[in-house]
Amino acid sequence: MHYSIAAAAMLCVLAGCGAKQEPRPILMKKEPFGTVEGKPVELYTITNKNNLETAITNYGGIVVSLKTPDRQGKLADVVLGFDNLDGYLKGHPYFGAIIGRYGNRIAKAKFTLGGVEYKLVANNGENHLHGGTKGFDKVVWSAREKAHNQLELSYTSKDGEEGYPGNLAVRVTYTLTDNNELKIDYSAATDKETIVNLTNHSYFNLAGAGEGNILGHEVLIRAARFTPVDEGLIPTGELRAAKGTVFDFIYPRIIGERIGTNDQQLILGKGYDHNYVLNAAGGALAAAARVREPNSGRMMEVLTTEPGLQFYTGNFLDGSITGKGGKVYRQRYGFCMETQHFPDSPNKPEFPSVVLTPGKTYSSTTVYRFSAEQ
């Protein structure tokens, strides 16, 4: 083949001869996902260079799908959820959603701040759970593609919403890195003293969503203590040593190994539904947990800046929900690792504080890192 010098030079410009070319990033895909209260809702799909793919909607900031490879490189969607928006609108136990203003429970749906008692919506018996009847999981967030692999969601929660004081401006950024991590950065600012505790409520099944229960998964949690609960799943205030109990995951243990034990705390939770006091005290990003699914070889590591981790084994799933691909979600078909401040902290002065004052910024980061053992 013969090229003129000009044509060769032109090809060089196009191909970037000489300089080593970085592969072009795969762009984020944006598709309509439906409407909520007249507002359009989108589905954003981010793919990394290793073919990991996540789809996130700005309705509730829900992680709709997350496809990760097994040891043969075969992708499976490892989070529970629905194929379309309708599934989410029909009601579900917080699949993949951003939880706020307060992740987990606040006893008797009230707390006192600056001498004022605030009454929240009681949506879990007499208690307040996951932000109330219309928490951050059910609102339409503003979305912005911050980078090819970064989706920034923002929402301003009004003073008095679900009973909480202060206008709270919240920002959640999802980043899918080329290191196979889904990174979630949360930040918030208020104009009046308030409380904040944000998390993500993804239900994982590393064998694939709907592919049986999670009892065969192996779990390690870097926590020597956990917060035992009462009948309403409110922490008693005790920080109990996990060592020598069915709550000890300091060394990797199979979830199903001890879940059926006649243990008072397991009975109250109908399985694991407890907050772990992470050994890393919170503040810097630190390894919190690791989960391995032996058949597929898929692994997930959880890193967080938070002091706590709610380990929930999908105890309330009961087969009444049919999810993606027509698969039925039965009890223990998914597990959650919700990074957080401890439940009921607003009423437990001895727990790390969840108070946010004007002029300060709440910030929190959690990373879910995926790999496959060979």
The distance of closest approach from Cβ of residue 273 to ligand GLA in the complex, given in angstroms and rounded to an integer, is 5
DSSP string, 266-301: HHHHTS-EEEEEESS-SSS-EEEEEEE-TTT-EEEE
Which span (46-54, 191-199, 308-316, 322-330) binds ligand GLA, by CB under 6 A? 308-316
Considering only 37-45, 67-75, 310-318, 344-352, which stretch makes contact with ligand GLA by CB under 6 A? 310-318
Q: Residue for token digits 């018996």? A: 125
Among 60, 61, 81, 93, binds ligand GLA (CB under 6 A): 93
Task: Closer to ligand GLA by CB, 176 or 288: give it.
Answer: 288
CB of 243 to ligand GLA, least distance (A): 23
User: Does 346 sit near ligand GLA (CB under 6 A)?
Assistant: no
202: contact with ligand GLA by CB under 6 A: no
Out of 65, 68, 104, 340, the residue judged to bind ligand GLA by CB under 6 A? 104
> Residue count at the site for ligand GLA (CB under 6 A)?
11
Reported in sequence order, the residue ranges of 191-285 that DSSP labels E, i.e. its strands, are 194-195, 199-200, 218-221, 223-227, 240-241, 253-254, 273-278
Q: Is 157 helix (H, G, I), strand (E, B) or coil?
A: strand
130 catalytically annotated: no
Q: How far is the CB of 284 from ligand GLA (least distance, A)?
A: 25
If the CB atoms of residues 41 and 233 are measured against ligand GLA, the closer one turns out to be 233
Torsion of CA 323, 331, 295, 278, to 10 degrees: 110
CA dihedral 343, 284, 281, 124 (to 10 degrees): 10
Q: CA 239, CA 233: separation in Å to the nearest integer?
A: 14
3-state secondary structure at position 17: coil
Per CB under 6 A, the list member of 233, 302, 354, 372 interacting with ligand GLA is 233
Given the complex with ligand GLA, which of 46 and 223 has the nearer CB atom? 223
Closest by CA to 41, choosing from 20, 18, 59, is 59
Integer angstrom CA distances of residue 297 from 11, 169, 267: 44, 40, 31
Residue 109 interacting with ligand GLA (CB under 6 A): no
CA distance 123 to 164: 14
94 sits near ligand GLA (criterion: CB under 6 A): yes
Reduced to 3 states (helix: H, G, I; strand: E, B; else coil), residue 9 is: helix
Residue from 310, 340, 365, 366 binding ligand GLA (CB under 6 A): 310
Cβ proximity to ligand GLA: between 9 and 328 the closer is 328
Report the distance separating Cα 124 and Cα 91, nearest Å. Answer: 15
Q: Which of 36, 336, 354, 356 binds ligand GLA (CB under 6 A)?
A: 336
Nearer to ligand GLA, 111 or 329 (CB): 329
Element spanning 86, H or E: helix 85-89
Question: CB–CB of 226/240 below 8 Å?
Answer: yes
Whether 238 is catalytic: no
Rounded to a whole number of angstroms, the minimum distance from the CB of residue 217 to ligand GLA is 16
Indicate which single residue of 141, 203, 249, 312 sits in contact with ligand GLA (rule: CB under 6 A). 312
**316: contact with ligand GLA by CB under 6 A:** yes
Whole-Å CA distances, 271 to 162, 278, 332, 338, 369 = 29, 20, 9, 16, 25
Q: Which residues bind ligand GLA (CB under 6 A)?
A: 93-94, 104, 129, 233, 273, 310, 312, 316, 336, 338
Q: List active site positions.
A: 201, 338
